[in-house]
């Protein structure tokens, strides 16, 4: 009986050890990743990407910008950068690209990663880039400014922002939009970080918020590593694995230094 109990106890211990190993986190990578969202939404859009990257051992921090002013969003991003335990890969979507273009001058930032994101040059504003017409490519379906804020036409939001995503989600996102403040749209960049730090660009070929031609122009002048994906503006909702892999590409280049 004692032998039987001992055998059962040993089997139970080995089983628990196996379960623990299966759920064990990998060693933490020597790089931190900071995710910055764009206009009209919040940081929850990064959830799938966050889960993939944390599962691979990265410290991942998410900035919750108000999108009320570029200055305020840059300051908030710098506060999150300061909390990172390691050198930072600074990642942005859409308007967030303008934020990291300025905030990326922080000395902890090693790489900039843009997902269908604005990368303004000296003196440029998001407004100038967003409203520059591109023949054959639609611009963002914005409503006229109201009380110093912008919104996307709710009826056009699902197709323009996240074509292919569950309509129940995108219709809710359209109603739950975060207003985009004109001080965020009209404030020029003074020191673009991509001029001094390596940059990576993933462009959504089906983007209906920022013309793909405009995205390609910004990536080319930054000299960034560039790939295209056949997805919508909110590519992190439709292609989280590809988005995470592209971030890891930038992170690996830092870890290997």
What are the pLDDT digits (tens) for 191-245? 999 999 999 999 999 999 999 999 999 999 999 999 999 999 999 999 999 999 9
Query: Nearest 10 degrees: CA dihedral of 191, 251, 244, 214?
Result: 30
pTM above 0.85?
yes
Q: Is residue 177 part of a domain?
A: yes
Handedness of CA 157, 161, 167, 170 (dihedral sign): negative
CATH of the domain at 96: 3.40.50.1820
Q: Is residue 16 part of a domain?
A: no
Q: Is residue 168 part of a domain?
A: yes
pLDDT tier for residue 255 given thresholds of 50, 70 and 90:
low
Residue 133 is predicted with a pLDDT of 87
Q: Is residue 156 part of a domain?
A: yes
Share of the chain above pLDDT 90, in %: 85
* Residue scoring higher pLDDT (133 or 110): 110
The answer to which of 23-27, 85-89, 189-193, 199-203 has the lowest mean pLDDT is 23-27
Q: Is residue 135 part of a domain?
A: yes
Distances (CA, A) of 42 to 50, 222, 235, 243: 14, 27, 15, 17
Distances (CA, A) of 143 to 77, 151, 158, 176: 27, 6, 15, 15
CA-nearest of 107, 81, 86 to 28 is 86
CA-nearest of 149, 151, 168, 250 to 209 is 151
CA-nearest of 63, 74, 115, 65 to 231 is 115
Q: Is residue 102 part of a domain?
A: yes
Q: Tell me the average pLDDT across 13-25.
A: 50
Residues in the chain: 257
* Residue scoring higher pLDDT (249 or 133): 249
Q: What is the extent of the structural domain holding 126?
A: 28-255
pLDDT tier for residue 257 given thresholds of 50, 70 and 90:
low
Q: How many domains does the chain have?
A: 1
Q: Is residue 236 part of a domain?
A: yes
Q: Is residue 20 part of a domain?
A: no
């Amino acid at each position: 009986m004692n032998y039987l109990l001992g055998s059962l106890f040993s089997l139970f211990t080995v089983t628990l050890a196996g379960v623990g190993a299966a759920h064990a986190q990998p060693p933490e990578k020597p790089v931190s990743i900071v995710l910055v969202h764009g206009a009209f939404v919040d940081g929850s859009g990064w959830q799938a990407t966050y889960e993939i990257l944390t599962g691979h051992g990265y410290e991942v921090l998410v900035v919750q910008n108000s999108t009320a002013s570029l200055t305020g969003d840059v300051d908030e991003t710098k506060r999150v950068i300061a909390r990172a335990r390691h050198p930072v890969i600074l990642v942005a979507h859409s308007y967030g690209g303008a934020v990291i273009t300025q905030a990326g001058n922080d000395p902890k930032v090693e790489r900039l990663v843009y997902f269908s994101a604005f990368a303004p040059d000296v003196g440029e504003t998001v407004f100038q880039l967003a409203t520059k017409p591109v023949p054959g490519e639609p611009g963002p379906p914005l409503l006229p400014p109201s009380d110093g804020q912008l919104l996307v036409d709710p009826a056009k939001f699902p197709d323009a922002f996240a074509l292919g995503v569950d309509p129940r989600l995108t219709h809710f996102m359209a109603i739950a939009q975060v207003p985009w403040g004109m001080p965020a749209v009209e404030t020029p960049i003074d020191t673009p970080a991509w001029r001094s730090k390596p940059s990576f660009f993933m462009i959504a070929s089906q983007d209906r918020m920022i013309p793909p031609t405009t995205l390609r122009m910004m990536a080319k002048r930054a000299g960034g590593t560039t790939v295209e994906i056949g997805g919508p503006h909110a590519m992190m909702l439709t292609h989280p694995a590809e988005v995470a892999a592209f971030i890891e590409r930038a992170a690996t280049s830092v870890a290997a230094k």
